[in-house]
C-alpha cells in the first residue's frame, strides 16, 4: 500500500514560508530597465519594486509584512548582496523556504537582524507550485564559464550551461569557500511580466505601477494563508488591517483582497510542546491569534438607528443653520461662500468595534480599503465651501462620539 511520504517523514513540510526582512536606504539600489518606444527609440524606466516611497528611509520586517497585505501582493526582488544581484537569469524572484519552523526560528537567531527576521507568509507547496514556484538548484557540475551578461542586476549564463528559463533557480554552491546555503531549502517564483498582476503603490503624491504576486485575490490557488508575527499586539494590528480589506474586498487602489482562508501565527505563543511537532501544519490552535468581536444587543441596535436618523435629519439641518448664522465668510455674487472648495466625511478606523460592525450590516458604514466612511450626514451639501462641510461633519461627529463610542473622526478633501 502506497503512503504519502510527507505523512511519515518528520523533516518534510507541506508549507513554504516567505520571510520578510528590514529594508533601509543602504540596501535600496536603483534598477533601470531599457525599453523601445513606438519609434524604436530606447528609453529607461526605474523599477519601483525596488524603491522606498519618497520621504521614507526604512521599513522594518513587520512593516514590510503589513505592506504586502495593504498592497495586496508580494513584490519580486533582486536579492542584492554587496550592491550586486545574487540571482541568475536576469529576472527578480520571490524567495521562500521549506525549512521546518523550529529549524528556522533557531536559524534566525544566528543571522543578523537586517538580513532575516521572524515575520512572513506561509502558503502550501501545492499553491506555490501553481504560481510557478520550484526548488532551487544548489550549484552546477561546471563551475567555470563566461557570462553572457554580468551587470549589477543581471547575471546570465550560456544556455548550454543551464537553460535561461531555469537560471532563476540556481544558487551558488562551493563548500570549499564556505558558500553553502543548502540549509535554507529554498524555493523561488520568477517574475512573470504579466500585465494583469500589476498594482499601484504610493510614491509621495504620485503612484507607481509595479508587478506583484497577489495571493489574496479570489482566483488565487491558495486555499489557506498563514501570516507569521512575533507577538499578540502585532497580530491585533494585522487582524485589523485584514478586516478592513476584507470588508472592502480591495485596497484603496482597487487591488483585490478576497482570500479564502487567512490566519495569524504568533511566535510567542509557540511552546516547546508545539515545537516538538516540528511542522507548521502540526502546531496547536493555541499558537494562532483569535479574537471575539462583540455584537450589539437589541436595545443598542435601536439606539444606534435613532442616533443615525437624528444625525441625518434634525442635527444636519441644525448644523447647516448654525454655520450660516455664525460664519464670518463672505459670499460671492453667485451665492457661494468665498472659500476653498472641498468636502468632509465622518470616518472610523476601529474595524472590530461593535457599533461599526452593526453600521456595516445596516449599510451605514462602508470600507474603502484603509478605513470606513460613516453615512450619518443628511442631504445638506448645498455649498462648495470646505469650511461649510467641515462644520457640519464635526458637529455630527461630536454627537456620534457622545452617543455611541469615541471612535469617529472627520477627514477633509480638497477639490
Tell me what pLDDT residue 219 has.
Answer: 94
Specify the pTM. Answer: 0.90
Extract the C-alpha cell encoding 299. Answer: 436595545
Question: What integer pLDDT is reported at residue 410 of this predicted model?
Answer: 97
Low-confidence ranges of the chain (pLDDT < 70): 1-8, 107-117, 278, 381
Strands of the 198-203 sheet, one edge to the other: 74-75, 206-213, 198-203
pLDDT in the model for residue 1: 45
Q: Classify residue 314 by its DSSP letter.
A: I
Q: Which residues contact 210 (CB under 8 A, 6 or more apart)?
A: 47, 48, 49, 75, 198, 199, 201
Pairing of strands 372-374, 342-348: antiparallel
Assess contact for 337 and 385: CB atoms under 8 A.
yes
The C-alpha cell that represents 294 in the structure block: 462583540
Contacts of 309 (CB under 8 A, 6+ apart): none
Q: Report CA 151 to chain centroid distance, whole Å.
A: 31
Return the pLDDT at 110.
Answer: 65
Q: What is the pLDDT of residues 291-323, one digit of tens each?
A: 999 999 999 999 999 999 999 999 999 999 999
Nearest to 118 by CA among 129, 105, 132: 105
Take residue 285 and report the three cell numbers written for it.
490552535
| pLDDT confidence of residue 169 | 97
Please list, residue by residue across 173-211, b when 16 or more beta carbons sit within 10 angstroms of its beta carbon and e when fewer do: beeeeeeeeeebbbbbbbbeeeeebebbbebeeeebebb
Amino acid at each position: 500500500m502506497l503512503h504519502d511520504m510527507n505523512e511519515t517523514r518528520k523533516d518534510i513540510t507541506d508549507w513554504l514560508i516567505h520571510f520578510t526582512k528590514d529594508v533601509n536606504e543602504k540596501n535600496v539600489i536603483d534598477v533601470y530597465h531599457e525599453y523601445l518606444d513606438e519609434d524604436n527609440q530606447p528609453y529607461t524606466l526605474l523599477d519601483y519594486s525596488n524603491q522606498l516611497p519618497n520621504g521614507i528611509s526604512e521599513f522594518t520586517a513587520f512593516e514590510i509584512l503589513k505592506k504586502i497585505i495593504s498592497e495586496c501582493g508580494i513584490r519580486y526582488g533582486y536579492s542584492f548582496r554587496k550592491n550586486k544581484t545574487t540571482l541568475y537569469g536576469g529576472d527578480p524572484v520571490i524567495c521562500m523556504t521549506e525549512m521546518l519552523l523550529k529549524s528556522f526560528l533557531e536559524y534566525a537567531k544566528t543571522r543578523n537582524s537586517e538580513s532575516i527576521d521572524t515575520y512572513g507568509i506561509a502558503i502550501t507547496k501545492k499553491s506555490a507550485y501553481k504560481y510557478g514556484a520550484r526548488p532551487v538548484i544548489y550549484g552546477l557540475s561546471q563551475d567555470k564559464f563566461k557570462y553572457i551578461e554580468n551587470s549589477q542586476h543581471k547575471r546570465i549564463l550560456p544556455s548550454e550551461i543551464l537553460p535561461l528559463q531555469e537560471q532563476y533557480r540556481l544558487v551558488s554552491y562551493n563548500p570549499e569557500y564556505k558558500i553553502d546555503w543548502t540549509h535554507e531549502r529554498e524555493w523561488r517564483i520568477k517574475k512573470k511580466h504579466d500585465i494583469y498582476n500589476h498594482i499601484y503603490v504610493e510614491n509621495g503624491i504620485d503612484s507607481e505601477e509595479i508587478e506583484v504576486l497577489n495571493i489574496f485575490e479570489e482566483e488565487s490557488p491558495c486555499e489557506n494563508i498563514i501570516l507569521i508575527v512575533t507577538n499578540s499586539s502585532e497580530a491585533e494590528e494585522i487582524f485589523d488591517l485584514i478586516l478592513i480589506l476584507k470588508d472592502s474586498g480591495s485596497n484603496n487602489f482597487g487591488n483585490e483582497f478576497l482570500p479564502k482562508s487567512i490566519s495569524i501565527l504568533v511566535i510567542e505563543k509557540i511552546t516547546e510542546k508545539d515545537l516538538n511537532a516540528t511542522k507548521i501544519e502540526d502546531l496547536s490552535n493555541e499558537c494562532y491569534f483569535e479574537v471575539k468581536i462583540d455584537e450589539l444587543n437589541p436595545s443598542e441596535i435601536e439606539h444606534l438607528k435613532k442616533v443615525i436618523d437624528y444625525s441625518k435629519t434634525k442635527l444636519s439641518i441644525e448644523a447647516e443653520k448654525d454655520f450660516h448664522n455664525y460664519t464670518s465668510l463672505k459670499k460671492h455674487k453667485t451665492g457661494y461662500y468665498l472659500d476653498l472648495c472641498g468636502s468632509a466625511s465622518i470616518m472610523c478606523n476601529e474595524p472590530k468595534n461593535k457599533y461599526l460592525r452593526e453600521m456595516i450590516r445596516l449599510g451605514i458604514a462602508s470600507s474603502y480599503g484603509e478605513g470606513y466612511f460613516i453615512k450619518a450626514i443628511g442631504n445638506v451639501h448645498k455649498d462648495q465651501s470646505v469650511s461649510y462641510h467641515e462644520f457640519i461633519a464635526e458637529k455630527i461627529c461630536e454627537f456620534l462620539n457622545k452617543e455611541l463610542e469615541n471612535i469617529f473622526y472627520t477627514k477633509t478633501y480638497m477639490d
